[in-house]
């Protein structure tokens, strides 16, 4: 059995981790930390976990996380980088769901996240936890940087066509929408019901923190620096990411995009390429670790439109973290995280 600990178990990604790990046949959750909720029953805060989680939140200073096999950080940015080194030295695998180890260029990270990095040497070692790209590296990792929600949907959407070398990578466009849970479980005016309901808005157009993460990943796939315009939007739903991606074909001969995508993801358990001409919906992945993709070439032009949908809290966060844990410990990737999406 894997002994698992969670640091920061009171946010949306924390409770999603608990939902999946509580049903994982090879996991025993030994610690869930929260300074603000220390001593409170987990089921008191999250009634959905009643009879599934029989633990109290513990103070991080008192929890014996060093006795765990794996520790998940479901914390704000800047926390994992202060604690991961000691855990790794104790032989604990670390999976960080925040952004502390996602960006390899430390100066770039500090620019976007507005703080000095506490552990740059570990950032150099961390493996970016997108299984569809880095599966073999994840198997050998001590520290996994779990991808962000926007970056997961965007990279999986662009991946096959960039790998094939068929598009102009200097002028990629990602137009992406997210539900309000992507902002986290905290009090903020822009996510109040009266503010977010019946409303639809773009934000972060001059620059968003996920931009360097996406650009880094796509550039590695392309083998050269890519040019990306990334515009996120907030939509009045709780869960979901919908990425509409645009690229210009450079290959003049006939390209079977449907076949390209189906072959690339044929053996990926959590990527579903839909039939030609279809349009994936966010509700088709709600509560699941699935990314559904459809690829279009409108009017047989040289513009490719890729539609990629995920649940931002699952494949965009906690589900992918459990998928990475399975890879780390040699279990089937789908173990404990193969739930069917929720409809309606």
The set of catalytic residues is 149
Q: What is residue 249's DSSP assignment?
A: B
Q: Which residues contact 177 (CB under 8 A, 6 or more apart)?
A: 232, 233, 234, 235, 240, 241, 242, 243
Compute the distance between CA of residue 55 and CA of residue 312 in angstroms, rounded to an integer: 26
Say how far apart CA 321 and CA 163 lie, in whole Å.
24
Q: What 3-state DSSP class applies to 263? A: helix
CA distance from start to end of the chain: 35
Q: How many CA atoms lie within 13 A of 148 on its CB side?
A: 26
**SS3 state at 116:** coil
Question: Cα separation of 295 and 259, whole Å?
Answer: 10
| Rounded Cα gap, residues 220 and 226, in angstroms | 9
* Count of beta carbons in the 10 Å neighbourhood of residue 330: 7
């Amino acid at each position: 059995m894997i002994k698992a600990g969670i640091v920061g178990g009171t946010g949306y990604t924390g409770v999603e981790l608990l939902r999946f790990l509580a049903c994982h046949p090879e996991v025993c959750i030994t610690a869930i930390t929260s300074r603000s909720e220390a001593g409170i029953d987990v089921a008191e805060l999250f009634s959905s976990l009643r009879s599934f989680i029989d633990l109290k939140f513990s103070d991080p200073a008192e929890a014996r996380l060093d006795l765990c096999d794996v520790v998940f950080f479901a914390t704000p940015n800047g926390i994992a980088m202060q604690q991961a080194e000691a855990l790794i030295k104790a032989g604990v695998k670390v999976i960080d769901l925040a952004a502390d180890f996602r960006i390899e260029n430390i100066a770039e990270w500090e620019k976007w996240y507005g703080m000095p990095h506490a552990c740059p040497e570990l950032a150099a070692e961390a493996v970016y936890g997108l299984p569809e790209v880095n599966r073999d590296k994840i198997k050998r990792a001590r520290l996994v940087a779990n991808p962000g929600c926007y970056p997961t949907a965007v990279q999986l959407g662009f991946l096959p066509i960039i790998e094939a070398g068929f598009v102009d990578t200097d002028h990629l466009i990602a137009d992406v929408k997210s539900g309000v849970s992507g902002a986290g479980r905290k009090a903020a005016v822009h996510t109040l019901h009266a503010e977010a309901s019946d409303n639809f808005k773009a934000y972060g157009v001059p620059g968003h923190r996920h931009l360097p993460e996406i650009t880094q990943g796509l550039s590695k796939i392309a083998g050269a620096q890519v040019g990306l315009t990334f515009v996120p939007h907030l939509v009045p739903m709780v869960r979901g990411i919908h990425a509409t991606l645009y690229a210009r074909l450079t290959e003049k001969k006939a390209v079977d995009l449907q076949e390209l995508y189906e072959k690339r993801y044929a053996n990926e358990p959590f990527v579903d390429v839909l039939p030609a001409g279809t349009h994936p919906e966010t509700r088709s992945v709600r509560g699941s670790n699935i990314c559904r993709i459809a690829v279009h070439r409108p009017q047989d032009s040289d513009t490719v439109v890729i539609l990629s949908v995920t649940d931002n809290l699952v494949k965009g966060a906690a589900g992918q973290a459990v998928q990475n844990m399975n890879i780390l410990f040699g279990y089937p990737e789908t173990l404990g995280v193969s739930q069917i999406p929720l409809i309606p």
